[in-house]
Amino acid sequence: MNLLFASFISLVFNPFVILVFLPFFLVYKSSGSIGISLFWTTYSLIFLMTIAQIVLYYVRKNVFTDLDVSTRAQRPLLFRILVIFGVLYISGLYLLHAPRVLYVMVVSLLFGVSVVSIINMRIKASLHVATLSALILGLVLGYGIYYAFFLLLIPLVGWSRVKLKRHTVSEVVVGGVVGSLLLLIIYGFAIAGHILVWDPMRGNYGF
């Protein structure tokens, strides 16, 4: 039963699943338009589905051990794929005059991928925990302290990764620390570059 629950948690909070909803959340927060948000969510989903199909292909060819690419030696190839599609994604954003918040999102993701790929040479940091930590911390900073309740999801996802033997406790901790630090760094640069502006109604910075 514990393994089944751990598998469910790991699937629901997979980085790819989280990234499906992230563009809608960001674009809607900056534009207030459901139509525009759905358009850019669909645009982003095309890229995510293509990457997912490539990963699935490599799993079938035994290049990747599993869909999580949990073997550290296999992750550099995954990181290269993400960078290539990240550059293509940005090119499309430019041609279609996308909201600037999506530029921030993809540049942040590419920066995160670069940092994690370097860390991967030493330790296999948990991408699940890193992605979730960055997302929830972003919610707290962007919407207020009452979203801090969702921080409880981080140790739950960490437990699931350890339970499934995809990561050790230290790898989960490194993932959480890296995801949080990257978000804080990006958030700081966004404020300094006036990408985020002070919202007196909420009492914090937002798009």
Separation CA 70–CA 125 (nearest Å): 10
Stronger pLDDT, 203 or 137, i.e. the higher one:
137
Which two three-digit tokens encode residue 157? 């996802």
Question: Tokens 């790929």 map to which residue?
Answer: 117
pLDDT score recorded for residue 50? 95
Of the spans 80-84, 117-121, 146-150, 199-203, which averages the highest pLDDT?
80-84
The answer to whether the predicted template modeling score (pTM) of the entire model surpasses 0.85 is no
pLDDT score recorded for residue 34? 92
pLDDT score recorded for residue 145? 77
Separation CA 15–CA 13 (nearest Å): 6
Determine the residue type at 125: A
